């Protein structure tokens, strides 16, 4: 059992300990080690029961994702073999659970005759999050334990449940107070002494759900599971637990698992899974780089963004001083924060006590003097360079020497902002995404002079406040918005050529994005982009002063949902976009005035031009070093721009399509539309080599 699994005897109880750090994955060698332990217990007449536990920080984490797509070495044991071994045991096997029992780890526990665990342990089936279904009899055993009506929400959501919930569901039989091993041994001895049978979940019957349950459940997950394969395969497998004999259900589960595993969706989701763990690794910022302790924060601006950023800090117990220029703006901002929390309390997702605690961590002020000792200050004021510079001059004067000065700019030059201070090494970009208290992405913008310690601190802080931090370089729009500009340009261009906003949005939505570019513009506020375009026109004389359709819409006072009119119209209080004949007339008139011939544009062209524009710009960003790796770009788009997670992101999507095909299409559009479609040299090189972005 060579260190991966150990067996020892504690009186009449055999103890099998899986010791495969860091998470006790069921990688090659572990299943055989467990089986050897069971055999040792079986052959020792002095042993009456066996306890299975994990060493270190948790029970068993399930299969090693790295081994999923590789055939196991000849003759190696699998989870199926472990389960068969448990079921053939003549002595009770008790799972002793601490930390996490997830996926294959929980399936291992469910194959045991009994289960106990600590009060802090958590349980779940996260397989759906990487595009597969539980493949170790989980879809057949869980419905037999707690009924399909309770089992399906757990498996389809991928969420974890605490010990008390697991006990109520029947997933575990007892919560152990005190030392887990001592408690598990006592539990096993009691099972033997009281003559309890070798309980096998496979022999139990799953209760029949109420009429209409499956239909109603599918409706309830329709929005969240849109486009995903695995949730519906889980439903199919769970139905089998109710309707078929156990062995037939297991056979169906095995078939559905393989279908999911071999799908592009699982490849996309697994790639994203690894990407979200790789994005915090920065080649020239070693893991042992010293970080600063962030015990307090300040936020400048109590608007929508500033309020959301404030919530991120206080949610994890970091006190915030929030600064505004007027009492009215300060009061309005605090009321929005309070209302957001109150809404969460109303939905049962937060207790009133926790809301009160979080609100108590917020100190409102109108004076810069009150923020001077904060460990980090995040500026979230109006997106104008002159205003940002004025703010940073004040921060440079007032903040303590080791304070981190962060700007939430979404497009402006962080180095230009840093240059007005005497400490550019302490300046960094922290681009939160709206709503900042909800969106997971945080673009961390590295300035030319930003210290490695500051980078390491902010990357760590991003994880602390439960964001996915991705390091990017300084360029107009950084990574996400720079690429988005190309995507939006194509969407707008196709409206000029013949499509309507709703045509583009439908094609993109059907592709899997959360919403189309025009609906997204209305949600974000069209005035934001309008101000940016006017700034760029002022800074660059080469930009023609010809108000486009989007500018004319803003000049009409249509800024999107906030004004109940933008590219679409909206009923008061509604976020449902309604195609507006007035906008269609504006588009037609605009094109006629400029003698633009409109034509039909199909969905395939819409998707190609929108997505390939992202890919081509992404390749340029990689070549310039503005992003460290292709997977970082995918993480940005999946977590900040509504790109379908099952496609991972634009770069992996391009890899799956084939870079040769993408490059050929980009060349065609370049010939037709000119410079804006100039192929990225990196895309050209990879296509000619038959390589992928993932190979970089």
Give me the active site residues, please.
Answer: 107, 127
How far, in Å, CA of 244 to CA of 238, rounded?
A: 10
DSSP state of 694: G
- β-bridge mates for residue 94, sequence order: 51, 114
CA distance 371 to 321: 6
Place of tokens 């509504």: 642
Tokens standing for residue 25 = 């994955």
- Those residues whose C-beta lies under 8 Å from the C-beta of residue 497, and which sit 6 or more positions away, are 596, 598, 599, 601
Dist. CA 375–CA 254, nearest whole Å:
53
Q: Rounded distance, CA 189 to CA 219, Å?
A: 47
666 token code pair: 């980009």
Residue positions counted in the chain: 696
| Closest listed residue to residue 356, CA positions, set 344, 373, 366 | 344
Cα gap 36→13, rounded to integer Å: 15
Question: Kind of pairing, strands 100-102 and 49-54?
Answer: unpaired
Q: In what order do the strands lie in the sheet with 297-300?
A: 362-365, 320-323, 297-300, 376-379, 404-407, 427-432, 441-445, 468-472
Q: Using an 8 Å Cβ cutoff, are 62 and 135 in contact?
A: no
The token pair that represents 427 in the structure block: 């300046």
Q: How far apart are CA 68 and CA 79, in angstroms?
A: 12
302 class by beta-carbon count within 10 Å (0-12 exposed, 13-18 middle, 19+ buried): buried
> HEC string of 61-130?
CECCHHHHCCCCCCCCCCHHHHHHHHHHCCCCEEEEECCEEECHHHHHHHHCCEEEEECCCEEECHHHHH
Alpha-carbon gap, residue 421 to 401, rounded angstroms: 12
- The answer to whether residues 662 and 605 touch, using CB atoms and an 8 Å cutoff, is no
How is 210-266 classified by DSSP, letter by letter? Answer: PTTHHHHHHHHHTTTTTT-SHHHHHHHHHHHHHHS-HHHHHHHHHHHHHHHHTSHHH
Handedness of CA 297, 300, 302, 304 (dihedral sign): negative
Torsion sign, CA atoms 183, 188, 193, 199: positive
Query: Which residues fall within 8 angstroms of residue 11, CB to CB, at 6 or more apart?
Result: 185, 189
What CA–CA distance (Å, rounded) separates 671 from 684?
15
**Distances from the Cα of 573 to the Cαs of 560, 561, 565, 682, in angstroms?**
12, 9, 12, 47
By three-state DSSP, how is residue 670 classified? helix
Burial class (CB in 10 A: 0-12, 13-18, 19+), 174: middle
Residues 8 and 15 sit within 8 Å (Cβ to Cβ): yes
Report how far Cα 424 is from the mean position of its chain's Cα atoms. 32
Assigned token pair, 245: 């004999």
d(CA 486, CA 505): 16
Contact status, residue 9 vs residue 40, Cβ threshold 8 Å: no
């Amino acid at each position: 059992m060579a260190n991966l699994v150990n067996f020892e005897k504690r009186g009449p109880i055999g103890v099998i300990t899986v010791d495969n750090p860091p998470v006790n994955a069921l990688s090659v060698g572990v299943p055989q080690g467990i089986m050897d332990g069971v055999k040792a217990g079986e052959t020792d007449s002095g042993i009456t029961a066996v306890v299975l536990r994990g060493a270190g920080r948790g029970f068993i984490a399930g299969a090693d994702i790295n081994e999923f797509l590789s055939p196991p070495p000849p003759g190696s044991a699998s989870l199926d073999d472990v389960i068969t071994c448990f079921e053939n045991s003549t002595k009770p096997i008790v799972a002793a659970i601490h930390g996490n029992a997830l996926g294959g780890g929980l399936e291992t526990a469910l194959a045991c005759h009994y289960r106990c665990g600590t009060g802090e342990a958590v349980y779940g089936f996260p397989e759906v999050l990487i595009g597969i279904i539980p493949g170790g009899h989980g879809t057949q055993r869980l419905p037999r334990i707690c009924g399909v009506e309770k089992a399906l929400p757990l498996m389809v959501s991928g969420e974890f449940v605490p010990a008390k919930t697991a006990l109520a569901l029947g997933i575990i039989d007892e919560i152990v107070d005190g030392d887990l091993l001592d408690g598990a041994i006592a539990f096993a001895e009691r099972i033997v002494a009281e003559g309890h049978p070798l309980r096998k979940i496979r022999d139990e019957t799953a209760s029949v759900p109420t009429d209409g349950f499956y239909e109603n459940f599918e409706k309830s997950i329709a929005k969240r599971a849109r486009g995903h394969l695995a949730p519906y395969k889980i439903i199919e497998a769970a139905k089998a637990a109710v309707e078929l004999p156990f062995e037939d259900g297991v056979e169906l589960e095995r078939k559905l698992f393989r279908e999911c595993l071999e799908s592009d969706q699982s490849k996309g989701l697994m790639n994203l899974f690894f990407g979200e763990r790789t994005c915090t690794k920065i080649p020239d910022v070693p893991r042992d780089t010293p970080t600063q302790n962030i015990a307090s924060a300040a936020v400048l601006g109590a608007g929508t963004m500033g309020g959301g950023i404030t919530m991120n800090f206080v949610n994890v117990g970091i006190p915030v001083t929030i600064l505004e220029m007027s009492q009215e703006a300060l009061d309005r901002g605090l009321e929005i924060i309070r209302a957001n929390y109150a809404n969460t309390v109303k939905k049962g997702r937060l207790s009133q006590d926790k809301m009160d605690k979080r609100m108590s961590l917020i100190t409102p002020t109108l004076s810069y003097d009150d923020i001077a000792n904060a460990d980090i200050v995040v500026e979230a004021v109006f997106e104008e360079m002159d205003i940002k510079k004025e703010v940073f001059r004040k921060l440079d004067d007032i903040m303590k020497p080791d304070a981190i000065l962060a700007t939430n700019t979404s497009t402006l030059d962080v180095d230009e902002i840093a240059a007005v201070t005497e400490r550019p090494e302490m300046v960094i970009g922290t681009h939160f995404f709206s709503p900042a208290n909800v969106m997971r992405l945080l673009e961390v913008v590295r300035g030319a002079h930003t210290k490695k310690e500051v980078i390491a601190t902010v990357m760590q802080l991003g994880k602390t406040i439960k964001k996915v931090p991705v390091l990017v370089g300084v360029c107009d729009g950084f990574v996400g918005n720079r690429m988005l500009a190309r995507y939006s340009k194509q969407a707008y261009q196709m409206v000029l050529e013949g499509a309507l906003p709703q045509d583009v949005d439908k094609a993109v939505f059907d592709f899997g994005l959360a919403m189309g570019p025009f609906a997204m513009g209305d949600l974000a506020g069209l005035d934001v982009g309008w101000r940016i375009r006017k700034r760029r026109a002022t800074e660059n004389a080469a930009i023609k002063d010809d108000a486009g359709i989007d500018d004319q819409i803003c000049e009409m006072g249509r800024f999107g949902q906030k004004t109940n009119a933008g590219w679409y119209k909206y009923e008061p209080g509604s976020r449902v976009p309604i195609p507006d004949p007035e906008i269609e007339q504006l588009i037609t008139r605009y094109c006629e005035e400029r003698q633009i011939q409109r034509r039909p544009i199909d969905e395939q062209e819409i998707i190609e031009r929108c997505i390939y524009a992202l890919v081509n710009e992404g390749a340029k960003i990689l070549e310039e070093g503005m992003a460290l790796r292709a997977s970082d770009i995918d993480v940005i788009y999946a977590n900040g721009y509504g790109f379908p997670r099952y496609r991972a992101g634009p770069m992996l999507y391009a890899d799956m399509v084939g870079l040769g095909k993408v490059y050929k299409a980009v060349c065609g559009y370049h010939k037709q539309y000119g410079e804006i479609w100039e192929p990225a040299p990196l895309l050209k090189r990879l296509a000619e080599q038959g390589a992928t972005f993932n190979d970089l």
